[in-house]
Amino acid sequence: MQSLSKSIAQYLALVAIFAYGAVALAQAPETPRGRVVLVLPFDNHSGNSSLNWIGDSFPDTLNKRLNSAGFLTISHDDRQFAYEHLGLPADFRPTRATTIRIAEQLDANYVILGSYSVQPGTAGAAANGTVNSTVGSRITIQARVLSIDELRLSTVMEDSAELMRLFDAENAIAWKIAAKIDPHFSGSEQTFLAAPGAVPLPAFEDYIRGINATTGAERMKRLEDAVGLVPSYAAALLELGKEQYAQRDFDGAAATLAKVPKTDALALEANFYLGLANFNSANYAGAQTAFAFVAGRLPLPEVVNNEGVAVSRQDKDGVELFRKASEADPSDEDYHYNLAIALYRRGDTVGALLEVEKALKLKPTDNEALQLRVQLKQVAPGTRFTQSADNGFSPLERIRRNYSETGFRQAAFLLDQVNAARLAMLPPEKRAAEYTQMGREYLSEGLLPEAETQFQDALTASPNSADAHAGMAQLREASGDAAKARDEAKTSLIMKPNVAALMVLARLDMADKQLGASAEDVSRALMIEPTNAAAIALKLVLQERGQTVP
């Protein structure tokens, strides 16, 4: 993996200083060592080359799940970069020695290797080489972890399932890998299995074949097919939108990318490209909204800069946004250049000249900056630049068009570490309350493994937190573990009567057809919070089934 860029590190340092104070920043750990994982495509031992796409699916699924478990995984693009740097073809299957070279190139601590075999069912594979019509086939997966730091290969981890449940099988093997790498990993397998992202196998196949296609036409066709089968498939929508953008169908890209839910983990990348698509269609207000969404959650300088450019294109003042970007990364000449133009529009020719000098110090051969300096020296102090003015040279702010998935994920990863340092300074009860709140937010977005981590951290900080136990009860209910959900809810209620735990019990009791017990749970919840919408709704359901709620 390429090192965390200076711009990201500097910007997050500023975020930490302003949000958490210098003390928290001083205690914030560096990106943890020993947590960087490279997942390679798994080998097909089925003797059927039409199933090779399954091997390509493992990095996609395992990366997502290991990320949610707190590991930093290496993206498909970075893996391809390493292959190209080492002169290897994209479909190369490395030997042990080459694997170590690739891992060292990417600064990986662990490499996940594996294979799979598919035993045909009653229908076998479809005539076109897909498994869309396979019935009863089973996949058996074997995986091992290669520790680069210790040059040691783990024992084999194995899982199997019906092929139509490939996503579940990959989540199960991901859980075993996480536990193998980190003996202290405490996430439950059931939570991994209940994690979001599952789609019917034909749509998953089209998506994997699409993102690994070697031509734009095939990529587009496969991704369109995936979205056609599952219109809400966020990962396929993102990749389809990016392909439409690459083929300069900016209106189509904007329409596609706008369909990725704001609550989805992919929303940041989707909105970055949505901003670019809108910008290229001259929809500057839409571009500003999209970039602002990303900057509000991960305010990297390139995103803040782009928001500023979109603002400026609407003849509005983008000075503060450009100033934030240039302060975050003073080594980037474009941010100083953009700030110079924005100050010039404001009439601050002295400040504009200062910023253009900074840009030229970083890049003396920047012709546009040289022309801007000449113009600034010729105009009277206080002159306001307008794009329509006949000044001979009309500078335009520069937008960043490249999204670095690795950079964004590294930044988010580091920001989590800084936030953890801040939380570590709080009293246990306050720390538990904040972890619980974050867990609830993740849970509301369907991010179950991430929510579980937050609730566990809350309980580590304060084992007697009723709210944390209630959150864990809601998580266990969402993941389908009714017994543990009931235990957590009861534990929470012993510590403090609360609506969240009572509603978990009420829903579980109703599912078990214990309507009287469910009614009692709802009644207790309404005594605590008479206007609780969920309790009122469940009361009406019980009454419709003939059960009186006290």
Given the DSSP bridges, would you call strands 152-153 and 138-147 parallel, antiparallel or unpaired?
antiparallel
Bridge partners, 143 (sequence order): 114, 157
Domain termination residue (choose one: 190, 211, 232): 190
The helix-helix angle for 234-246 and 216-229 (nearest 10°) equals 150
* Cα–Cα distance measured from residue 171 to residue 178, given in angstroms and rounded to the nearest whole number: 11
What number is the average pLDDT over the span 527-542? 95
What number is the average pLDDT over the span 534-550? 93
- Residue 295 is assigned to a structural domain of this protein: no
The CATH number of the domain holding residue 97 is 3.40.50.10610
The CATH number of the domain holding residue 470 is 1.25.40.10
Place of tokens 């017990």: 517
Confidence band (pLDDT; 50, 70, 90) for 95?
confident
- Residue 73 is assigned to a structural domain of this protein: yes
* Cα–Cα distance measured from residue 129 to residue 227, given in angstroms and rounded to the nearest whole number: 20
* Cα–Cα distance measured from residue 163 to residue 135, given in angstroms and rounded to the nearest whole number: 8
What pLDDT does residue 127 have?
40
Residue 140 has pLDDT above 90, yes or no: yes
Residue 245 has pLDDT above 70, yes or no: yes
What pLDDT does residue 22 have?
36
- Residue 243 is assigned to a structural domain of this protein: no
- Domain of residue 72 covers 32-190
Note whether 351 and 381 are within 8 A (CB).
no
What pLDDT does residue 405 have?
65
Express each pLDDT in 19-78 by its tens digit.
Answer: 443 333 344 334 444 589 999 999 999 989 999 999 999 999 999 999 888 898 988 888
* Cα–Cα distance measured from residue 66 to residue 174, given in angstroms and rounded to the nearest whole number: 7
- Residue 245 is assigned to a structural domain of this protein: no
* Cα–Cα distance measured from residue 192 to residue 457, given in angstroms and rounded to the nearest whole number: 17
Name the average pLDDT for the chain.
Answer: 88
Confidence band (pLDDT; 50, 70, 90) for 549?
confident
Nearest Cα to Cα of residue 213 among 405, 45, 76, 118: 76
What pLDDT does residue 34 have?
58
What number is the average pLDDT over the span 418-447? 90
Domain termination residue (choose one: 190, 225, 245): 190
- Residue 403 is assigned to a structural domain of this protein: no
pLDDT above 90 coverage of the chain, percent? 68
CB atoms closer than 10 angstroms to residue 272: 29
- Residue 392 is assigned to a structural domain of this protein: no
Domain termination residue (choose one: 126, 155, 190): 190
* Cα–Cα distance measured from residue 484 to residue 482, given in angstroms and rounded to the nearest whole number: 6
Number of domains in the chain: 2
- Residue 149 is assigned to a structural domain of this protein: yes
Please state which of the ranges 66-80, 165-179, 286-300, 337-351 shows the lowest mean pLDDT.
Answer: 66-80
Bridge partners, 153 (sequence order): 146
Name residue 530's amino acid.
P
CB atoms closer than 10 angstroms to residue 447: 20
What number is the average pLDDT over the span 90-111? 85
| CA–CA distances in Å: residue 524 to residues 368, 506, 529, 549 | 70, 10, 9, 10
Name residue 355's amino acid.
E
Nearest Cα to Cα of residue 111 among 122, 101, 121, 125: 101
Q: Per the structure block, which two tokens stand in for 20?
A: 């958490």
- Residue 393 is assigned to a structural domain of this protein: no
Report field, pTM of the whole predicted structure over 0.85: no
